Structure 1
């Protein structure tokens, strides 16, 4: 197969099965269109699946979010939620741009520090953190989101032994989601504020945080307003350093055009999936872009009309935001090599395309769902005037190992040796659920920078 003969194609709009065409960042489009030989060589040399990570787009997303907060009149510290992707290159970019990191384990904290992010720009989240994580957080001056009274006491004891003061946020349940397993109830929060006063030599209350499920900007704004009131109450009780409102992550990402997404939801049915799989919940792939969501949260009216950002500024309060997926929007994609095609069109009406690798490397099934944006087909085959319906399976012995359950309308028959490109997979898809099942090696990550105009892309393995 001659690389120069390869063509990059997406399922045609209007084809049946329904097409969910992925949005493409211009840099990604250039890489896929003009540097197919490089990508093919990387896939051949490094194995399938291969994750391609693009720190330049991560850096662009940081600038865009900062601008959105500034335009909204809000002062905000951005902390990248490291759980969204394990790649070291994103931590290095964060360190270079003065972005913080949100971590929830000792290994994540160590990687953030090793990547050049100072402790005072690292937030520690997660429920009931262990003593090792507490000790590292205290030693490096990290900001710890405390989840319970018992954790607050343990953290204070750790700080006392270290002869340091721990910096603390109190994570609080919101009025809108009182049944969350994360955070303090109203009574516990009241007690914790008092305890921070008693233990002020060992813990310093810096503000409040919360956890929300879902992507409602209005609900996130209302929860942030509750935290503002908690800060003001803590100040009245003597905690004068209560100045931070951590609004968490949950900034939506737009993967496909909203009109396509709405049309998909209207037409979606089990018959569109292998084995009539009936999914009940999907990520909102046609949602708001992250910057638009930031502006909506900050502009949300509170207390009869004042915007959330204006109220925070008036009271000398700063926001902390912990985006993961939003900073990784378009900042990576995943390549699979087609290993075999079982053409069942005459019997079942569609084919099963088996790729080298598994669904563990495209982790949406961890959320009980399917990764819906259409993969792109890279093929050396000539154009064909037909739609080739197929789902995509992994090469393990698990009946449930479907990379894509939905039947994709490929623009030509898929053949062994072809490549499938899954776009925009950096946010949670690449490694949240990866597994060495069957003794398979974990997929590698190739870091690519496009460089100056006209210069060839530069690549390296992540972590090297």
Structure 2
């Protein structure tokens, strides 16, 4: 795990939200506390408890607008030539879905639960795209009923969808996910564009697939999809994607199909530590646009409607997670452990991906770092470590530790390990804090439990 220093002074916020460690409204207020969205983080921790996700609405809105404006600037100023889809697996709840939809985005969902949440948030079905390498018949039916586009991932899905689409008044819109054979430098678990991946059709299977699709009138084939990975800092793989996809595009046309939409996925990285240097949203869009334009122009094809699916780069830097500091354990000449009241159940990325984060003491963000500590979670796992060997100010029980850039894959991957309730989440803006996720209670933890009568009798 990479060592990550705490920041003794709040840095200048980057122009592109994904390049900033802090939410873009972050500041230090008159009380000397960290403030986000006009709200004092220490006061929020006192009022709502910890662990606590604090989401900055302005950062999410600015990220959405950066993507929208960049496509208009670099690809086409025609409104129907580009659609940004929020990859809602990064953080799927009704408030986040409604917020990005209000900014004109569609949604990428990967399960019936994510689809249902989006619909409950008021997202129009025709702006939702259903992904995933396993879609049940029930999930496919929900997508059909909602008018969503289904992204086909294998032949079994094609067979199920062909059956389910019988008798529909309108053909079901489908796209085809392809593994383009492009690798990028990222964690093994989040590379999805190389050929050895569970996602998408192998290029060698496309002839058979396109021939079958050409014979199924109840399915309307609208285009191709590819996604090459996540937390990517390189631009060249995204530029290369256009050339790879245009070859599959031409193959589809040879079978009488007429694709019009090209989904290039997402994957742009964010800054988790000072050492991280991701491209800006605008630079990413410019590179992808250039690759598509060049490839389709050389092939003599009209420009497709382009879709992209940012998740992490939309919400990652919007959020901090506040923890209350507990006790410490010093092992002379080895390490000092500092315990907090959360850990792997609210942020499983460090134990899963060895992910590194940056932190600050919310009640004294400008205090000088004077000690090296390892911040340990409260779970019964030796690997439950949030931050390893980080520099922090002198710290005492009751201080509020803020871990930065926790908007992506923290709540969405949270669990009840050790029967710990999941945290509350607040959406902050202009000094107002709205609860978007209630803190779970102990009664929530046992709500689905069932105790057989025979066990109850024996317990007595």
Normalized against structure 1, the TM-score is what?
Answer: 0.80
233, 250, 271: which is aligned to 2:251?
Answer: 233
Q: For structure 2, which runs of at least 5 residues remain unmatched after alignment?
A: 1-5, 11-18, 183-193, 439-460
Report Cα offsets for 1:330-388 as digits up to 9, x if no partner.
211110100112234xx13542110011223223235431323x20013469967x621
Report Cα offsets for 1:399-441 as digits up to 9, x if no partner.
111111x21111x32110011111111022x224312123221
Q: Secondary structure in 2 aligned to 1:53?
A: strand
Q: Secondary structure in 1 aligned to 2:314?
A: coil
- In 2, the alpha carbon distance for the partners of 1:221 and 1:46 equals 45
Report Cα offsets for 1:74-104 as digits up to 9, x if no partner.
4321110111013322211122122101001
- For residue 209 of structure 1, what is the aligned residue in structure 2? 225
- For residue 407 of structure 1, what is the aligned residue in structure 2? 389
- In 2, the alpha carbon distance for the partners of 1:180 and 1:34 equals 42
- In 1, the alpha carbon distance for the partners of 2:383 and 2:46 equals 27
Q: 1:377 to 1:187 in 2, by over 3 A?
A: same
The yes-or-no answer on 1:322 pairing with 2:319 is: no
Aligned runs of 1:265-280 on 2, under 5 Å?
Answer: none
The yes-or-no answer on 1:88 pairing with 2:86 is: no
Aligned runs of 1:28-427 on 2, under 5 Å?
Answer: 28-29=26-27, 33-34=34-35, 38-74=40-76, 75-176=81-182, 177-200=194-217, 202-213=218-229, 215=232, 216-240=234-258, 242-257=259-274, 261=275, 285-300=276-291, 307-308=294-295, 315-344=302-331, 347-365=332-350, 367-372=352-357, 374-379=358-363, 387-404=370-387, 406-410=388-392, 412-427=393-408
- In 2, the alpha carbon distance for the partners of 1:108 and 1:376 equals 33
Q: 1:309 to 1:327 in 2, by over 3 A?
A: farther
Q: Secondary structure in 1 aligned to 2:123?
A: coil
- In 2, the alpha carbon distance for the partners of 1:25 and 1:37 equals 12
- In 2, the alpha carbon distance for the partners of 1:325 and 1:145 equals 21
Q: 1:171 to 1:393 in 2, by over 3 A?
A: same
Q: 1:377 to 1:308 in 2, by over 3 A?
A: farther
The yes-or-no answer on 1:441 pairing with 2:441 is: no
- For residue 10 of structure 1, what is the aligned residue in structure 2? 7
Matched-pair contact (CA < 8 Å) for 2:39–2:428: no
Matched-pair contact (CA < 8 Å) for 2:23–2:56: no
Q: Secondary structure in 1 aligned to 2:245?
A: helix
- In 2, the alpha carbon distance for the partners of 1:80 and 1:401 equals 30
Q: Secondary structure in 2 aligned to 1:169?
A: strand
Matched-pair contact (CA < 8 Å) for 1:147–1:184: yes
- In 2, the alpha carbon distance for the partners of 1:367 and 1:205 equals 37
- In 2, the alpha carbon distance for the partners of 1:417 and 1:463 equals 24
- In 1, the alpha carbon distance for the partners of 2:223 and 2:114 equals 23
Matched-pair contact (CA < 8 Å) for 1:149–1:188: no
- For residue 432 of structure 2, what is the aligned residue in structure 1? 458
Q: 1:418 to 1:149 in 2, by over 3 A?
A: same
Report Cα offsets for 1:187-209 as digits up to 9, x if no partner.
32111111111112x11100011
Cα RMSD after superposing both structures: 2.7
- In 2, the alpha carbon distance for the partners of 1:395 and 1:243 equals 51
Give the stretch that moved more between structures: 155-164 or 33-42.
33-42
Q: 1:291 to 1:426 in 2, by over 3 A?
A: same
Matched-pair contact (CA < 8 Å) for 1:231–1:243: no
Count of residues in correspondence between the two structures = 404
Q: For structure 1, which runs of at least 5 residues remain unmatched after alignment?
A: 1-8, 14-20, 262-284, 451-456
Matched-pair contact (CA < 8 Å) for 1:312–1:318: no
Q: Secondary structure in 1 aligned to 2:339?
A: strand
Matched-pair contact (CA < 8 Å) for 2:426–2:437: no
Q: 1:253 to 1:313 in 2, by over 3 A?
A: farther
- In 2, the alpha carbon distance for the partners of 1:332 and 1:312 equals 43
Q: 1:297 to 1:367 in 2, by over 3 A?
A: farther
Q: 1:383 to 1:255 in 2, by over 3 A?
A: closer
- For residue 23 of structure 1, what is the aligned residue in structure 2? 21
- In 2, the alpha carbon distance for the partners of 1:104 and 1:313 equals 34
Q: Secondary structure in 2 aligned to 1:286?
A: coil
